[in-house]
Amino acid sequence: MGEAYSIKDSHRFRQDIAAADTASYPDSVPSGKYPARMINGAHIIIYSQDAEADRAFFRDVLEYPHVDAGDGWLIFKLPPAEAAVHPSDAPSHELYLMCDDVNATVDQLSAKGVTCAPVTNAGWGLKTGIRLPGGGELGLYQPRHETALNL
């Protein structure tokens, strides 16, 4: 396993990653996959007033697999994702988790003590909100549109 970095070392970590050897990357990839030496993932950052509680939520309630990047700094594996760009007068970002059956998922979360907002029909999907222990909110929705998850 590689060297552990603290948050104070994040700049050094980024420099080390940028300098990593990419010679072992394949020169081509199968059809439908990303080209070699291009972006291979995304890292989502959720800012929180109680990061420890929110990490525990992702670990214990959502049961996401994780690694400890050092000093209890958990990094979670997320389910497959997709990105959409919407027009707006002011730049902003939102994070929605996706599920196959929003009502069943709300029931599962409720059984673990999580309070969700009422489910509403947004046309493009059935959606709700999950209040994180640190005060933030995640969207949760059941898509009613074609998704890019299986591309």
Q: What is the DSSP letter of 79?
A: P
pLDDT in tens, the chain (151 residues): 444 444 445 445 444 544 444 444 445 545 566 566 577 778 899 999 999 999 999 999 999 999 999 888 999 999 999 999 999 999 888 999 999 999 999 999 999 999 999 999 999 999 999 999 999 999 999 999 999 888 8
pTM for this entry = 0.70
Please say whether the structural domain 9-143 has been given the CATH code 3.10.180.10: yes
Which candidate, 97, 106, 113, 117, places its Cα nearest to that of 46? 97
- Domain-wise residue ranges, the chain: 9-143
Show the DSSP H helices in the chain as ranges.
10-18, 51-56, 102-111
Residue with tokens 């990047």: 69
